Chains A and B, each alone.
Chain A
């Protein structure tokens, strides 16, 4: 008990949480790296033979290639080298193009991250007002309308939404390009025009999920005792809803937002493919099809890293939103 932890105690708690988070990150990354390493060694087929074609190589060439790729060493040695390279940021080279995997990934990240962030912003802009409005009028025709809209967003496959948008904005009204990608640095307006439809596609899908979550959480919170207390104080209804209920509803909402962010930021394969956006999703699927293993394993690692960082971000949001988490109290 007491009037609350001192500033110094709070700082120490934060530092402890951050250290624990970093340790978690390291453990997860090593774990993912190990699984990826073992999976690729377990896959049938010798990379050298896939690379060179089965018939054309003589034994010396094969042996030299194996030595070059480190495949003549023991599994443990290979594993340690792989971990060491990963730590120094070297994810190998593409089997097909010889381009460093790191470069490929760094090039694919900006479009994916831009798309993901735009989609999440659209999803939040849709879900907070609609979810709150539906919760306040739970059971009314307005609530039903919002719920139908949300369920349509959740259950319509993204490619249907995407094609609908293309038909509307590119074919019928000719406002936006059908597909394609321009870097923001090269042509900001063109970039935003190209990203508008893919971002809206993903935004509607994630917005549907988030509307449902916000509605449910606000309904739950409006039934809580502290809301009745606020009303008993004579606080106006708008303040009751936003200052009290929504602030508490934000805690479960952020959990779902984090899950959605993971999906959005690790590459939306279908949406990126339909709109020809060279992002992480496309990079992964193209290279799985081409059996370009170093690129696949590099992308998997980066996606895992994105998830771990988002989880850390969600934990940070909990600390921001909920003083009981800051105090380390059980929820």
Chain B
């Protein structure tokens, strides 16, 4: 028996920014797969390449950025995200919601018109039927009096409500994969949880896989089943959430864990990761990108790129110190 094809598989993804030939690599050799209905978190701080990875998968890289290598497959079928056929796939098989709901909706189109546009982009529905469907979608994202709200303008909605509209638009065609790029970062804390629960519930109902981009490990723990940790555009560690967060192997993951305030006791001081991510080398430079900030770094960390190697059941990481050494050192 063979396992069903993953909703999304990414292999050897590289993204560069800047003119061809002289560009700077911002994502290097990222690979992961999400099974149908699975929930993968991509974690990292600003500049880790997590948003670039998401945008590359959706073929929505900003001007000046491009995919330079890698293979992306949706439901087992290889696609070219930057190709002309992608418009037929986006919104139908892959949907995406973004960080800032305040600017993600067109300010001069009514909420209803934008929903109807999303519906009719991939179906031959009449404008009337599409409007009815749009109202259903608003109801599904728990916006009260949905039929009336179709005629409202985005500026009449709060941030949380706009993000609900974005979710409604994204899920209208029951996509195989929903990419959510920091969907709650711009919202206030009480709204954050509501929106995450909504995404979680609707993905479950529609059977959509979820790729959640976040820097918040609490969100990862609460809503995802596997996690990829990125730093400097490269994969540091990946595996099931419980395994990775329960026993982080990579020094960077450990550093990230140390920045989370524990819920069960008061602390005066959290350990920040030393240094600045600004100094991160290009994603295709030799050596480990985290080496300049890593307290355990050795000489080889700065010159030799560590191999991607298993580090326990279903967990893998990229760190020289995880290599089995005859002297019995290493982290694992």
Interface positions of A (Cβ within 8 A of B): 1-4, 223-226, 228-237, 239, 243-244, 247-248, 251, 321-324, 327, 329
Cβ–Cβ < 8 Å partners of A235 in chain B: 87, 91, 117-118, 121
Find chain B residues with CB under 8 A from A247 CB.
106, 108-109
Contact A3 to B156, CB < 8 A, known contacts A248-B108, A324-B107: yes
Q: Are B107 and A229 neighbours in the complex by a CB distance under 8 Å?
A: no
Extra contacts besides A3-B156, A230-B106, A233-B169 (20): CB < 8 Å = A1-B156, A1-B158, A3-B149, A226-B106, A226-B107, A228-B98, A228-B104, A229-B98, A229-B104, A229-B105, A231-B87, A232-B60, A232-B170, A234-B121, A236-B87, A236-B121, A243-B117, A324-B155, A327-B153, A327-B155
In the complex where A3-B149, A235-B117 touch, is A226 in contact with B105 (Cβ < 8 A)? yes
Question: A-B pairs with CB below 8 Å: how many?
Answer: 101
* B62-81 interface code vs A (CB 8 A; 1 in, 0 out): 11000000000000000000
B88 at the interface (CB under 8 A from A): yes
In Å, the complex CA distance between A236 and B120 comes to 11
B166 touches A229 (CB 8 A): yes
Pairwise interchain contact A3-B155, C-beta atoms closer than 8 A: no
Q: Does B250 contact A (CB under 8 A)?
A: no
Name the residue on B nearest A3 (C-beta).
Answer: B148
Q: How far is the CA of A274 from the CA of B145 in the complex (A)?
A: 64
Given A231-B60, A234-B88, A321-B108, decide whether A4 and B153 contact each other with a Cβ distance below 8 A: yes
The answer, yes or no, to whether B58 is at the interface (CB within 8 Å) is yes
Are the CB atoms of A4 and B151 closer together than 8 Å? yes
Find B95's partner among A3, A232, A239, A327 (CB 8 Å cutoff).
A232
Instruction: Considering the complex, give the chain A residue whose CB is closest to the CB of B156.
Output: A4
Of all chain B residues, the one with the shortest Cβ separation from A321 is: B108
- The reply to whether B148 and A323 contact each other, CB–CB distance below 8 Å, is no
User: Closest CB-CB distance, A235 to chain B, in whole Å?
Assistant: 5
- B249 close to chain A: CB less than 8 A: no
Given contacts A3-B149, A329-B155, A234 and B106 within 8 Å (CB-CB): no
Contact with A along B140-169 (1 / 0, CB 8 A): 000001001101110111100000001001
Complex-state Cα separation, A230 to B151, whole angstroms: 18
Within the assembled complex, what's the spacing in Å between the Cα atoms of A36 and B163?
Answer: 56
A230-B117, A234-B92 are known contacts. Are A322 and B107 too (CB-CB below 8 A)? yes
Within 8 Å CB of B63, what residues of A?
223
Question: How far, in Å, is B220 (CB) from chain A's closest CB?
Answer: 23
User: Whole-angstrom distance from the CB of A328 to the nearest CB of chain B?
Assistant: 11
A-B contact pairs, 23 of them (CB 8 A): A3-B152, A3-B156, A223-B62, A225-B98, A226-B105, A226-B106, A228-B60, A229-B114, A229-B169, A232-B90, A232-B96, A232-B98, A233-B90, A233-B169, A234-B89, A234-B91, A234-B122, A239-B117, A243-B109, A247-B108, A322-B108, A323-B108, A324-B153
Bound-state Cα–Cα, A230 to B62, Å: 14
- A138, closest chain B residue (CB): B63
Instruction: Decide if the interface of chain A is mainly helix, strand, loop or mixed.
Output: helix
Q: Does B103 contact A (CB under 8 A)?
A: yes
B95 neighbours in A (Cβ, 8 Å): 232-233
CA gap between A311 and B92 in the complex, in Å: 45
* Interface size, chain B (Cβ < 8 Å): 40
Chain A contacts of B200 at CB under 8 A? none
**B107 A248 Cβ-Cβ under 8 A:** yes
Among B105, B106, B149, B157, the most chain A Cβ lie within 10 Å of the Cβ of B106
Chain B residues closer than 8 Å to A4, beta-carbon distance: 151-153, 156
Alpha-carbon distance between A232 and B94 when the two chains are bound, in angstroms: 8
Contacts of B221 in A (CB 8 A): none
Q: B125 CB to closest chain A CB, in angstroms?
A: 14
Complex Cα spacing A231 to B91, Å: 8
Contact indicator B87/A226 (Cβ below 8 Å): no
Whole-angstrom distance between the alpha carbons of A147 and B215 in the complex? Answer: 43
Does B100 lie at the interface of the complex (its beta carbon under 8 Å from any beta carbon of A)? yes
Pick from B92, B96, B155, B170: contact of A323, CB under 8 Å: B155
Asked if A244 meets B106 with Cβ closer than 8 Å, knowing A2-B156, A228-B98, A233-B117, the reply is yes
Q: Known contacts being A248-B106, A248-B107, A322-B108, is A234 close to B152, with CB within 8 Å?
A: no
Q: Which of A1, A225, A229, A243 has the most CB of B within 10 A?
A: A229
Separation of A321 and B153 alpha carbons in the complex (Å): 13
Q: Tell me, in angstroms, the Cα distance from A256 to B58 when the chains sit together.
A: 37
Chain A proximity of B176: nearest CB distance (Å): 14
In the complex the two chains form, what is the Cα distance from A226 to B169 in whole Å? 13
Q: Please, how many angstroms separate the alpha-carbon atoms of A247 and B114 in the complex?
A: 14
Q: Which residue of B lies closest to A219 (CB)?
A: B63
* Cβ B117 vs Cβ A323 within 8 A: no
Residues of B within 8 A of A323 (CB): 107-108, 110, 153, 155
User: Whole-angstrom distance between the alpha carbons of A236 and B90 in the complex?
Assistant: 10
Return the chain B residue nearest A4 by Cβ: B152
Least CB separation from A237: chain B residue: B87
Q: Does B153 contact A226, Cβ atoms closer than 8 Å?
A: no
Expressed in whole angstroms, the minimum distance between the Cβ of B120 and any Cβ of chain A is 9
**Nearest CB on A from B72, distance (A):** 16
B residues 47-62 near A (Cβ < 8 Å) are 58, 60, 62
In chain B, what residue has the closest Cβ to A239?
B117
Residues of A within 8 A of B104 (CB): 225-226, 228-229
Distance from A244 Cβ to chain B, minimum over Cβ atoms (Å): 5
Chain A hits for B110, CB < 8 A? 323
Give the CA-CA distance A247 to B148 in the complex, in Å: 24
A residues less than 8 Å from B90 (CB atoms) = 231-234
A225, A226, A233 pick with most chain B CB within 10 angstroms: A233
Give Cα A229–Cα B113 distance, bound, in whole angstroms. 14
A323 to B151, CA, bound (A): 11
Give A243 Cβ to nearest chain B Cβ, in Å. 8
The distance from the CB of A232 to the nearest CB of chain B, in whole angstroms, is: 4
What B residues does A229 contact at CB under 8 A?
A: 98, 104-106, 114, 166, 169
A-contact bits for B31-46, CB 8 A (1 contact / 0 none): 0000000000000000
The 3 closest A-B pairs by CB, nearest first: A234-B91, A225-B103, A3-B148
